[in-house]
Amino acid sequence: MTDERIMIVEDEKIVAMDIKDSLESFGYNVPCMASSGEDAIEMARVHCPDLILMDVVLKGDMDGIQAAEIIHDHYDIPVIYLTAYSDEKTISRAKMTGSFGHILKPFEDRELRTNIEIALQKRELEKEKILENENWINSLLNNIGDAIISTDAEGKVKIVNPLAQALTGCRQEEARGKPIEEVFRVICEDTGKTVPSPTLKVLREGAFYGLHDKTVLVSRENNKTPIDVIGAPIRNSNNDIIGTIIVFYDITERKNIEKSFLNYSFDSNRDQAVNH
């Protein structure tokens, strides 16, 4: 028996039941079936299956390819298309959604099973590659000498490296999933007003250097640290922004040197005025 859960999206009930019987005979679990693109998206959200068998032609305003594209973007669930249409336009549209297979109707159980096994194996290899890349990135961020916070495209925190945890007073497990404004609290030194979100600045302007003049980081313990900030977008292969990287530096020492220099200049000017 296997643990994989496969969702069926098919608007012909008899066909859907036949596929369900086949999948269960292979040892797979079928947690749900949908008959429209809209239902498929909702069920994918609720059940999070390991794989979806998606009929291309569905009743309603949304076809299977449109539904699969939304599911891919939001839930990253692999899809195998089931279709009686093999025209080049349909196949090209299907490929653009990152499908894991394309089975022409009518098909035999053996063909169905083979495509499912290949898709699940491919998915497992992709997960391993993603995990390997994440481990490499985490190791790099944890050992770099800068404070770094990464977010998703909505500004929710994904990674807070050790130096950023020390400066913000917020641990990784506490910060993950929170809006960056709750973790990276920054104000203007002169006015005390909150500085605009760095994620919004990245989304609006792209990469930037300097979030605001005289930016101060306020830690969880209300410690105030003057900082410089750099922001940059994280893009996918389609050049879409999928997150942000915020790098910030403690510039307390630089501020103290500037203050000492200004005080020295003031004292020198005062002495010269007295001597004259």
Residue 227 belongs to domain with CATH number: 3.30.450.20
pLDDT on residue 261:
66
Mean pLDDT of 119-134: 81
Look at the chain and report how many structural domains it folds into. Answer: 2
User: How many residues comprise the chain?
Assistant: 276
DSSP letter (8 states) at residue 193: P
Tell whether 264 is covered by a domain. Answer: no
CB 218 within 8 A of CB 195: no
21-46 confidence digits (pLDDT tens): 999 999 999 999 999 999 999 999 99
Q: Which residue has the higher pLDDT, 54 or 59?
A: 54
Domain span at residue 24?
6-125
Res 184 pLDDT > 70:
yes
Q: Which two tokens stand for residue 197?
A: 């979100």
pLDDT on residue 53:
97
pLDDT band at 5 (very low <50, low <70, confident <90, very high): very high
Distances (CA, A) of 273 to 263, 266, 267, 268, 269: 15, 11, 10, 9, 6
Tell whether 84 is covered by a domain. Answer: yes
What phi and psi, each to the nearest 5 degrees, are found at residue 150? Answer: -115, 150
- The H or E element containing residue 49 is none
Mean pLDDT of 93-106: 81
pLDDT on residue 1:
47
Q: Do residues 149 and 101 both lie within one domain?
A: no
0.85 exceeded by the pTM?
no
Res 97 pLDDT > 80:
no
pLDDT band at 275 (very low <50, low <70, confident <90, very high): low
List of residues 6+ apart from 55 with CB closer than 8 A: 9, 10, 11, 12, 64, 81, 82, 83
Q: Do residues 109 and 20 both lie within one domain?
A: yes
Q: Do residues 119 and 186 both lie within one domain?
A: no
Q: Do residues 103 and 172 both lie within one domain?
A: no
pLDDT band at 2 (very low <50, low <70, confident <90, very high): low
Mean pLDDT of 147-154: 92
Q: Do residues 181 and 121 both lie within one domain?
A: no
Q: Which two tokens stand for residue 232?
A: 């940059």
Q: Do residues 196 and 217 both lie within one domain?
A: yes
Task: Give CA–CA dist 52/8, Å, rounded.
Answer: 6
Rounded to the nearest integer, the mean pLDDT of the chain is 86
Question: Domain ends where: 125, 148, 168?
Answer: 125
Q: Do residues 80 and 164 both lie within one domain?
A: no
Q: Do residues 173 and 107 both lie within one domain?
A: no
pLDDT band at 116 (very low <50, low <70, confident <90, very high): very high
Res 4 pLDDT > 70:
yes
pLDDT on residue 197:
87
Mean pLDDT of 139-156: 86
